[in-house]
Amino acid sequence: MYTVENADHRVPVSVLTGFLGAGKTTLLNHILTSDHGQKIAVIVNEFGEVGIDNQLVVGADEEIFEMNNGCICCTVRGDLIRILGELMDAKRGVSDRKVDFDRIIIETTGLADPAPVAQTFFVDEEMAEFYKLDAIITMVDAKHAPQHLDEGHKAQEQVAFADVILLNKTDLVDMEELSKLEQRLRTMNPYSKIYRTHKSNIDIGHILAINAFDLDKKLELDPGFLEEEDHDHDDDVTSIVMSDERPLDLNKLEAFFGKWLQEHGPDTFRYKGILNIKGVKQRIVFQGIHMLFSSTPDRDWRPDETKKSEIVIIGRNLNQAWFQEQFSGCIMDTAPQVN
Ligand SMILES: Nc1nc2c(ncn2[C@@H]2O[C@H](COP(=O)(O)OP(=O)(O)OP(=O)(O)O)[C@@H](O)[C@H]2O)c(=O)[nH]1
């Protein structure tokens, strides 16, 4: 269980993930050469002996830290924590080395599972106090994505975890293919923002300092998501959206969450929600990654807004009927609340 408070003083971290060759290094170069006026420390994880990516990254002012001996998500997570720890000490001035930076970007290998990387910032208390996970940015290669998604769990997971998806290499496919792919991505992950890019060219404001992990942020679902239909693909990664305006029963909800985490935690990659709980004047916001779950009271419901619970779950082989039944079981048997 984690809570996030006084988020503002912490150093934001962006995690850049994506399929092999999708354009991560191109994006990194775009960020580092843009006129953003920030000092960025970059942690590059290259799978293999030689960190070729390091040589391709431009920008002399930035500090590049390299992790070489394996994939960031498994063997080197300790290495990631070590580097983050060293950077923290260097910024605090408690080590011989002085490095100043305003934010960190971690470029992961195309094979990395984003979950353990994201979890690092919640599980380790010292990390959580110093760093704040800003967003997971996933690069998707418009040309090869359909094949990658058909073939691999990892590609699907990277889409599942994304807060922002950059649909890159738009020059290599026609509009119809692009729209079809975008729809497929949206079905897998309805709450990420999707931008189409060529050569990873994107307004930096769309990807940095977006606070995607902030608990008090309103749940932002793509408004067109529910209306569109394209069920050509049998992706194991899918999403479930549940909502209701009637208040929820807290005790039943706790039982539901208990069962959820115990029985379905490994399958639910990311979830977010806003809850309208009977007798509670604030909105309750919650989110989680697998079994790491947190919920906190947010602002009061405003008199002019409709109180509404809304839950989005992204995961693998989700049992939609089970989730819907459990959620429905938490609804108090009353008419919708009128403000
Ligand atoms: N046609 C086309 N090529 C692109 C685009 N964006 C990047 N590329 C090229 O695609 C290749 C791979 O780009 P990178 O930025 O190295 O991709 P990456 O995700 O860092 O690759 P890995 O580190 O191997 O996973 C390079 O040759 C880029 O110049 C694009 O929008 N269109």
Give the closest residue to 206 by CA, choosing from 187, 192, 226: 192
Confidence of residue 90 (pLDDT cuts 50, 70, 90): confident
pLDDT for residue 176 is more than 60: yes
- Distance between CA atoms of 31 and 181, rounded to whole angstroms? 25
Helix then strand then coil, % of the chain, to nearest 5: 35, 25, 40
Please give the average per-residue pLDDT across 196-223, as a whole number: 77
pLDDT of residue 65: 56
- Mutate which of 26, 139, 171 for ligand 1? The one with the most ligand atoms within 8 Å of its CB, which is 26
Whether residue 184 is predicted with pLDDT greater than 90 in this model: the reply is yes
Q: Are 127 and 121 in contact (CB under 8 A)?
A: yes
Report pTM.
0.78
Asked if residue 172 has its Cβ within 6 Å of ligand 1, the reply is yes
Say yes or no: CB of residue 17 within 6 Å of ligand 1.
Answer: no
Kindly give the distance from the C-alpha atom of residue 213 to the centroid of ligand 1, in angstroms, as a whole number. 27
Cβ 12 under 6 angstroms from ligand 1? no
Q: Are strands 282-289 and 268-275 parallel, antiparallel or unpaired?
A: antiparallel
pLDDT in tens, 4-15: 444 468 999 999
> Where are the chain's structural domains?
7-206, 237-329
Q: What angle do CA 324, 326, 329 make, to 5 degrees?
A: 105
Q: What's the pLDDT at 59?
A: 42
Distance from Cα 23 to the centre of ligand 1, integer Å: 4
More confident call, 57 vs 208: 208
How many angstroms separate the alpha carbon of residue 6 from the centre of ligand 1?
38
d(CA 330, CA 50): 54
pLDDT tens digits, one per residue of 229-263: 444 556 788 888 899 999 999 999 999 999 998 89
Give the pLDDT band (50/70/90) at residue 39: confident
Amino acid at 205: G
pLDDT of residue 266: 85
> Could you tell me the distance, in angstroms and rounded to a whole number, from the CA of residue 30 to the centre of ligand 1?
12
The residue type at 302: R
**Domain 7-206 carries which CATH code?**
3.40.50.300
pLDDT digits (tens, 9 = 90+) for 108-123: 866 667 777 887 887 7
Average pLDDT of the segment spanning 95-102 = 80
Q: What is the pLDDT of residues 133-152, one digit of tens each?
A: 899 999 999 999 999 898 87
- C-alpha of residue 24 to centroid of ligand 1, in Å: 7
Q: What is the mean pLDDT of residues 285-300?
A: 84
Per-residue pLDDT band at 217 (split at 50, 70, 90): low
Nearest CA to ligand 1 atom 14: 23
User: Is the model's pLDDT at 49 over the cut of 50?
Assistant: no
Q: How far apart are CA 163 and CA 170, in angstroms?
A: 20
Burial of 252 (0-12, 13-18, 19+ CB in 10 A): middle
Whether the domain at 7-206 and the domain at 237-329 fall into the same CATH topology = no
Report helix, strand or coil for 88.
helix
Sign for the CA dihedral angle at 214, 265, 283, 127 comes to: negative
145-154, 245-254, 269-278, 314-323: least confident range: 145-154
* CA nearest neighbour of 261 among 241, 289, 219, 295: 289
Model pLDDT, residue 164? 94
Q: Whose CA is nearest to atom 12 of ligand 1?
A: 21
The H-or-E segment that residue 138 falls in is strand 131-141
CATH class of 237-329: alpha beta
> Which of 25, 52, 109, 201, when mutated, tests ligand 1's pocket best, judged by the most ligand atoms within 8 Å of its CB?
25
Mean of the pLDDT values across residues 3-30?
80
Evaluate: CB of 143 within 6 angstroms of ligand 1. Answer: no
Pocket of ligand 1 contains residue 204 by CB under 6 Å: no
Mean pLDDT of 217-232: 50
Average pLDDT estimate for 298-311: 91
Between the CA of 43 and the centroid of ligand 1 the distance, in Å, is 18
Among candidate residues 104, 47, 40, 43, the one with its CA nearest the CA of residue 74: 47
